[in-house]
Copies of this chain bind each other. A is one copy, B any other.
Amino acid sequence: MRETDVVVVGAGLAGLCAARAVLAAGRDAVVVEARDRVGGRLLNHELAAHPGKVVEIGGQWAGPTQTALLDLARELGVDTYPTYNEGENVLEWRGGLKRYKGAIPRINPAILADTLQAQKRLERLAKTVPTGAPWTAPRARELDSMTFQTWLNRACATKGARTLLELGCQAVWAAEPADVSLLHVLFYINSAGSFDDLVGTEGGAQDRRFVGGSQRVALRLAEELPEGALVLGAPVRRIEHGDDGVVVHADGDVRVRARRAIVALPPALTNRIIYAPPVPGYRDQLTQRTPQGTVWKCMAVYDRPFWRDQGLTGQATSDRGPVRVTFDNSPPDGTPGVLLGFLEGDFARRAGRQDAGQRRAEVVDCFARFFGEAAHTPTEYVEQSWAEEEFTRGCYGCGMTTGAWTSFGEALRAPIGPISWAGAEVATTWSGYMDGAIRSGREAAAEALAALQASSGPGSTVTAGLGRRSSAS
């Protein structure tokens, strides 16, 4: 039985940053992680024929307003570089290809005007939603009682605008507009700043990348932890909790007794842990309403980024799919060339039931349509769906269902006794992003530290009652 001040469940960015903040305050922390690695949804993949060169099969970008992430990376010595963005983008639209520079494709101006107007209305509405308490927005109940699709149907006069904003929804939430509450969409936009912040490359959430891969941020955090503070390969199965603290049980006979716990998992996974006593219905039912998105991240590797020769950024958007959005994901020096495509929402759900060969063929076909025949012969193909991963079960983050924020929202962040909650989904700034994960971890740590400070009790003892529950299981 290990003893510590704060036990952290999950060694993603949120968990690692929570532990770091606890340690920085002079308290002891132990992080217990299900996988045999740190990083959660951050994962580097070394390219087969290019030793030392990596692409990320999880989260990878940083934007200029993501200061928690950028400052942390700087502090840890992880450099960034701009996402490749030189030349023209491609839009596949109604059966043809259009090249364009910047953010605005050259399609029917009526559609563009309609899209921009709807987007403006969305931004204005988003500003009315307090990110710390979306349920207190002036029209919260109304906004939470409809899907984003319902709103799009009303807000867009043209089918084209609807299609473009559906594309945006799939790209940002890895969900269909039918899946998510309008209030959640507004909360999320406001937590990032604006819709442009979410979808933008230069100046937006896809602005920069990490030299050596984004997982390095997590790996560096883990290296900093004191000896023995990180337990890998130990899925937490049970948390006993009471006034005096917690006992956390994980596979491999891992047991950690602590005065506070920080559970840094997606909300949808927090209910797969057994709590003794059980958490209140209000909290449990929230976690039945926080589904994770669905996305396949697919990359094809080529000797060279051949699209650059044609004056293309490697960024494409398609109204046809299954690949809806692409990026040039080559390493900083441009060798090898890597095309990245996302299958999102229903495209991803369909892809998840295809065999791998079929999926790859469809993805590479898309790349060839957007960038030419050369795309048909990659030297390597890499793909990942986090929905298939037992310890994530979906990406990018959760899309709250209709009614969830207004009926259960307070339960998202409210501690249960000695248990605090962290993770990108719990963040109030850049919710769903690495930046939000870092912030949420620090906030959970502050909550735990304040409780430790306030407690005048006998320290890290857990009641006999809790011990009894443990041995009876």
Contact = CB atoms under 8 A, between A and B. Distances in A.
Contact of A281 (B178, B280, B294): B294
A366 to B, nearest CB: 21
Contacts of A401: 179, 289, 291, 401-402
Interface string A382-406: 0001011010011000000111001
A455 interface: no
A284 B387 contact: yes
A352 interface: yes
Interface stretch (A51-59, A144-152, A313-321): A144-152
A292 interface: yes
Contact of A288 (B290, B352, B406, B407): B290
Contacts of A352: 280-282
Contacts of A408: 349
Which range contains the number of A residues in contact with the other chain?
35 or more
Contact of A177 (B145, B289, B346): B145
A307 B447 CA distance: 53
Contact of A147 (B292, B385, B393, B402): B402
A284 to B, nearest CB: 5
A388 B281 CA distance: 4
Interface of A: 141, 144-147, 149-150, 175-179, 237, 251, 268, 271-272, 278, 280-282, 284-285, 288-292, 294, 345-346, 349, 352-353, 385, 387-388, 390, 393-394, 401-403, 406-408, 473
Given A145-B176, A281-B385, 6 more contacts: A141-B178, A146-B147, A281-B294, A349-B407, A401-B401, A401-B402
